[in-house]
Structure 1
Amino acid sequence: MTGLTLGSLFDGIGVFPLAASLANITPIWASEIEKAPISITKRHFPMMVHIGDITKLHGGAIPPVDIITFGSPCQNLSNNGNREGLAGSQSSLFYHAIRIIEEMRCATDGEYPVIAVWENVIGAFSSNNRLDFKAVLESFTKTDIPMPASGEWAKAGMVRGRNVEVCWRLLDARYWGKPTLPQRRRRIFLVADFRGTRAREILFKARNLQSFPTSCGKDRLSSTSTSRISAQKTRGKIPIVRPFQERRMRSTAKDKNKTGFIGSFGRTHDPFPTLLASSVNYFSFWYEGKEKEGYIRQLTPLECERLMGLPEGWTALGHKDEAISDHARYKALGNGIAVPCAAYIMAGIAEAI
């Protein structure tokens, strides 16, 4: 082990603890209020303590850790949400995470945490006339951060203030992992280093990712590679998988845009659209030359786990071996973090610190 410890706020199904474990970082505690995700993470991390509702916690009263991670609620920041921004009832919980970090640092004379990692949707760049991301940066640095001259936040950048280095970067899950994940999932990842200048090394340095075994073995195939399966394996049939862009489909249907509607069906090598907590993704499948015999179906929870880079069956059972409902699994996975992106950052922290 590295000797480094981690606490996970807004923990969900434990992606940051999983990524930390891959980098030999020990997850110590987690804060989550949803019943199913708590049961799932208790199963996988029986030694990790669940400390409850973030709004009722005091950072000085919980075990200090080297790293605090949090993917605070995005409902008010998302381009698909109500766009109330950080002032919204859900996304304003971001400030509770900042409060807990400050309280822990105060109680430990600035020793802990060393690193904070924040994850959120790309809409955080533009919500509230682009002022929300400015507020995020200022919350970490305690320094006034000017708006960029262009009026828009870059997809990667760095600021400093009061001995804190903060770097951010937009990562798309489809370009990460081995093999890369066949899901388009763009998320902002921000790293704050409270002791030096290592945030840039953590977030921008190229490094190999550690992989972990899954139950599916070496013959597992990602959805984007199905059209390249050998004819011998499929008895001469070449399978075609085309994900729907469901939101585009609905909007173009409403506008009676025939060309746009047809285009929403996608192409063979298109990635799956971003998994959402509020809906289930569909795709069409047929064998080459047999389009009329094809069919449409939704992704299964197992397939969603694969699209997130999780070990198969990660969300299937709770800590008492109880089955987790498909509804709860879809919701938890749609709210989740892509494992390869989190693993890249955790590997960087372990390497830098």
Structure 2
Amino acid sequence: MKLLTLGSLFDGIGVFPLAASCYGVKPVWASEVEKAPIAITKRHFPNILHLGDITKIDGGEIPPVHVITFGSPCQNLSNIGRREGLAGSQSSLFYQALRIIEEMREATNGTYPVIAVWENVMGAFSSNDRMDFKAVLEAFTNTEIPMPASGAWANAGMVRGSKIDMCWRLLDAQYWGIPTLAQRRRRIFLVADFRGKRAKEILFKARDLQSFPASSGKNRLSTAGTSRISFKETGGRIPVIRPFQERRMRSAAKAKNQNGFIGSFGQSSDPFPTLLAAGVNYFSFWYEGKEKEGFIRQLTPLECERLMGLPEGWTAHDYEGKVISDNARYKALGNSIALPCAQYIMAGIAESL
């Protein structure tokens, strides 16, 4: 069987390469410009070729691969950003990725890549009056795509043409992983098949994922309903952990909305809010009946790695073994994707190809 290969654009900290390697797909090259993420990926994948700035890459001159993944910058699409859409200076880099894919296909007579995977924030469905996602679909298919009759994009869908088979699906990290993750993180994943009609099979087929050891499992932070703090360690007390929604609290305080302010602490069964690259991620903790002795603290980088489903310490050191700063780790993790979601897609690609 021929070895499947992968190239990762906007690579970040190597989550797509990690997911690919779990299913026998070999990461060949990556493109990233941020210093810390590059150093982290180099540590875990020392043999990957780093291509640097995506705007300076010629897709016809780099090693051809079966799969190209790219989570293009989301800052201009996010619901908490300025919402310039695909016209924004960062999110417009999406078109650079498509240029590279097309250049590779021209150079290989349509042989490579076979599959492309695009990942982005849920805000891409609605930015620019819902026209940005239409533009994404049209850029992939090179044809006009009509707006849905409802005027809004569904959380899952398909576009099938003579030269491409394409599906998209909104995946929320809190429902993925073994055990499932305790973070609400909704992301669009789009799979494009250039040489068959397997996108539906890759993105919608139910399959059992392999369980890969990601951590020691000791003292793992979770919601109270799935707390792994042992009964012995707590002295028989019942721990209560509640996600702390800082943005909601600030807006409620500004509006003098008491109910909204109290509700920003969430419930014990709630998942943690989406980890952000430019924010501080807090939670509140107390033992049942001892609320006045409770406290609020920031998630540690290790806890953020766990909430992303990553191996513990994945972002801790660079390729020379030097310590990565906490600020750099928070930013890199907030910009990343949840590993179990990427694993599900890579499992589908390995199975289908």
TM-score range, shorter chain: over 0.9
1:340 corresponding residue in structure 2: 340
Amino acid of the structure 2 residue aligned with 1:50: H
Amino acid aligned to 1:11: D
Moved more, 105-114 or 138-147: 138-147
Q: Secondary structure at the match of 2:304?
A: helix
Map 1:204-353; keep pairs closer than 5 Å. Answer: 204-217=204-217, 220=220, 222-226=222-226, 231-353=231-353
Residues 214-223 or 89-98, more deviating: 214-223
Verify the 8 A CA contact 1:228 1:238 in the aligned structure 2: no
Matching residue of 2:179: 179
SS in 1 for 2:192: strand
The residue type paired with residue 10 of structure 1 is F
Q: Give the Cα–Cα distance (whole angstroms) in 2 for the partners of residues 2 and 277 of structure 1.
A: 38
CA contact (8 A) 2:220 2:228 kept: no
Q: CA deviation at 1:219?
A: 6.9
State the distance in 2 between where 1:229 and 1:220 align: 7
- Could you tell me whether the CA contact under 8 Å between 2:220 and 2:227 is conserved in 1? no
Identify the residue that residue 14 of structure 1 maps to in structure 2: 14
CA contact (8 A) 2:193 2:199 kept: yes
Alignment of structure 1 residues 187-206 onto 2, 5 Å: 187-206=187-206
Deviations 1:240-284 (A, max 9, x none): 100111111111111110111100011111100000000121011
Which residue of structure 2 lines up, in the alignment, with residue 31 of structure 1? 31
Alignment check: 8 A CA contact 2:220 2:229 kept:
no
- 8 Å contact from structure 1 (residues 202, 348) kept in 2: yes
Aligned mates of 1:332, 1:73 — CA distance in 2: 13
Q: Tell me, yes or no, if the aligned pair for 2:223 and 2:270 is still in contact at 8 Å.
A: no
CA apart distance, 1:228: 7.6
- Give the deviation of 1:291 after TM superposition: 0.7
* CA contact 1:141–1:162 (8 Å) conserved in 2: no
Matches within 5 A, 1:52-91: 52-91=52-91
Aligned pairs (5 A) from 1:5-154:
5-154=5-154
**Secondary structure of 1:101's match?**
helix
Q: Structure 1: which amino acid aligns with 2:337?
A: I
**What is the aligned residue count?**
353
Q: Quick one: structure 1 residues 261 and 218, their matched pair in 2 at CA, closer, same or farther if it must change by over 3 Å?
A: closer
Cα distance in 1, alignment partners of residues 270 and 263 from structure 2: 11
Secondary structure of the corresponding residue to residue 61 of structure 1 = coil
What secondary structure, in the 3-state scheme, does the structure 1 residue paired with 2:73 have?
Answer: coil
CA distance in structure 1 between the aligned counterparts of 2:120 and 2:254, rounded to whole angstroms: 30
Give the Cα–Cα distance (whole angstroms) in 2 for the partners of residues 304 and 227 of structure 1: 16
Q: CA offset at residue 229 of structure 1?
A: 5.4
Equivalent AA in structure 2 for residue 317 of structure 1? H
| Aligned alpha-carbon RMSD (Å) | 1.4
User: Which amino acid letter does the alignment assign opposite residue 350 of structure 1?
Assistant: A
Do the aligned partners of residues 151 and 335 (structure 1) sit closer, same or farther apart at CA in structure 2, a change above 3 Å counting? same
Aligned-residue offset at 1:234: 2.4
1:109-142 deviation digits (Å, cap 9, x = unpaired): 0000000000000000000111100010011111
Q: What is the alpha-carbon distance in structure 1 between the residues aligned to residue 315 and residue 88 of structure 2? A: 29
What's the TM-score once normalised by structure 1's chain length? 0.97
Distance 1:2 1:340 in 2: 25
Residues 7-64 of structure 1: per-residue CA shift (max 9 Å, x gap):
0000000000000001110000000000000000000001111011000011001000
Could you tell me how far 1:321 is from its partner in structure 2? 0.5
Q: Helix, strand or coil for the counterpart of 1:80? A: coil
Deviation at 1:221, TM superposition (A): 5.7
Which amino acid in 2 is paired with 1:235? G
Report the AA paired with residue 99 of structure 1.
Answer: R
Structure 2: how far apart are the matches of 1:165 and 1:213?
34
Distance in 1 of aligned mates of 2:266 and 2:298: 15
Answer whether contact 1:2 1:25 (CA < 8 A) is retained: no
1:162 deviates by 3.4
Return 5+ residue gaps in structure 2 as ranges.
none
The percent identity for this pair of structures is: 77
TM-score, with normalisation over the residues of structure 2?
0.97
8 Å contact kept, 2:183–2:272: yes
C-alpha contact 2:158 2:167 (8 A) present in aligned 1:
yes
Question: CA shift at 1:218, angstroms?
Answer: 6.8
Superposed displacement of residue 161, structure 1? 2.2
- The CA distance in 1 between the partners of 2:284 and 2:233, in whole Å, is 21
Q: In structure 2, the residue corresponding to 1:62 is in which secondary structure?
A: coil
Q: Which residue of 2 aligns with 1:168?
A: 168
Amino acid at match of 2:9: L
**Alpha-carbon deviations, 1:175-210, whole Å to 9, x = none?**
000110000000000000001110000000001112
